[in-house]
Amino acid sequence: MAKTKISLKLLKNKAQKEMLQAKDLKDLDIVFKKYLGDEGEVTLVLRSLKKLPKTKKAKIGKEANELKNFLKIKFAEAAAALKEKAQKEAELKEWFDITVPGEKVAFGHLHPLTLVQRKCEEIFQFMGFSIIEGPEMEEEWYNFDALNIPKNHPARDLWDTFYLKNGLLLRTHTSPVQIRYMEKNQPPLRIIAPGRVFRHEATDSSHEVNFYQVEGLMIGRDISVANFKAIIQEFFRRFFSKDVEIRLRPSYFPFVEPGFEIDIKWGDQWMEIMGAGMVHPNVLKNAGLNPSDWQGFAFGMGLDRLAMIKYKVDDVRLFYSGDLRFLNQF
């Protein structure tokens, strides 16, 4: 009996020690089975009780059962502790340091052509012009015929474009917006029409298959070239934030008469920046206006050209390259 008693005490210490050494629930389960499993050491002691005399059986049986219950509780406690430990470790893995400086969110910004377009809109709006848009996919009538460029007229060669399967074409300039607007609105009027235009031509550092223009149109009873000059002079002064010398050079566009090209003095060079002129009587007629009642000027300016001068960009293709090394500079 003394021997059994000693072995029960030993079992208790051993089991407890091993329980504490268990690193995880799997380890603990092995220890549990070793003592309380079907073939476990405590289980075997209990099973061997049958062979003992009655008096001893009661005493040792009681002690062995107490040990069994004690160990069960201890196992449950150890299991709970291990579970908690595992959970804490998992939480620790997710833990983060809120004092570490965050990663900067990269903000985008407007494209240089958009910046230039918005600046133009702001200046012209200030001078009483409304901003009007027209379709990029245009009818031949608006892009050519109504602008006094009949079929087979050699001037069409100046504006070769992409003809679409649906019978429309990609507009070669913003001038069709003149017609569309005059059809629906009675003079006096002042509008600008910014937008994308297309040309079927080879690209180089100053030509792209698509680019941006701002069309201008001012019609009234007695609008003259003098009005045009004053307005455009003021526009450039505001756009470049300084006085800019301009000159008008005679030129030909079928939809104006007289027509001219406007150059601005940049450094010691004259740069061609827009086409303009007094709206041709045929154009007024095509838009439903009586040329003996109304007159005015129109101009078409290349936004890309303007942006190239303002930002000193030497290749128009950069605007359409999507190259961040270029775009990040604006």
Length of the chain: 330
Residue span binding ligand PHE (CB under 6 A) among the ranges 4-12, 68-76, 89-97, 273-281? 273-281
Longest dimension (CA), the chain: 137
Binding characters for ligand PHE, 235-264, by CB under 6 A (x = yes): ------------------x--x--x-----
CA distance 221 to 36: 110
DSSP 257: E
142 touches ligand PHE by CB under 6 A: no
In the DSSP assignment, the letter for residue 139 is: -
What string marks each residue from 173 to 212 as x (binds ligand PHE by CB under 6 A) or -?
Answer: x-x-------------------------------------
Q: Note whether 275 binds ligand PHE by CB under 6 A.
A: yes
Nearer of residues 18 and 140 to ligand PHE, judged by Cβ? 140
Active-site residue (options: 45, 197, 244, 298): 298
Rg (Cα) of the chain, in Å, rounded?
45
Nearest by Cα to 144 from 135, 136, 153: 153
CA dihedral 57, 58, 60, 61 (to 10 degrees): 90
Cβ 203 to ligand PHE shortest distance, Å: 17
Instruction: Give the residue among 222, 212, 218, 298 at the shortest CA–CA distance from 255.
Output: 298
Name the token pair of 20: 């504490």
Least separation in angstroms between CB 156 and ligand PHE: 13
Q: Does 287 bind ligand PHE (CB under 6 A)?
A: no
Q: Which stretch binds ligand PHE (CB under 6 A): 25-33, 222-230, 282-290, 298-306?
A: 298-306
Q: Which is nearer to ligand PHE, 75 or 299 (CB)?
A: 299
Nearer to ligand PHE, 12 or 171 (CB): 171
Q: Are 109 and 51 in contact (CB under 8 A)?
A: no
Strand 256-266 and strand 269-279: the pairing is: antiparallel
The answer to whether the beta carbons of residues 169 and 161 sit under 8 Å apart is: yes
Q: Which of 117, 178, 213, 295 is catalytic?
A: 213
296 binds ligand PHE, rule: CB under 6 A? no
- CA 46 – CA 8 distance, rounded (Å): 11
Which of the following is catalytic: 45, 64, 256, 287? 256
Backbone angles phi, psi at 314, to 5 degrees: -100, 0
Residue 207 designated active-site: no
The catalytic residue positions are 159, 173, 199, 213, 256, 298
Binding site residues, ligand PHE, CB under 6 A: 173, 175, 253, 256, 259, 275-277, 298-300
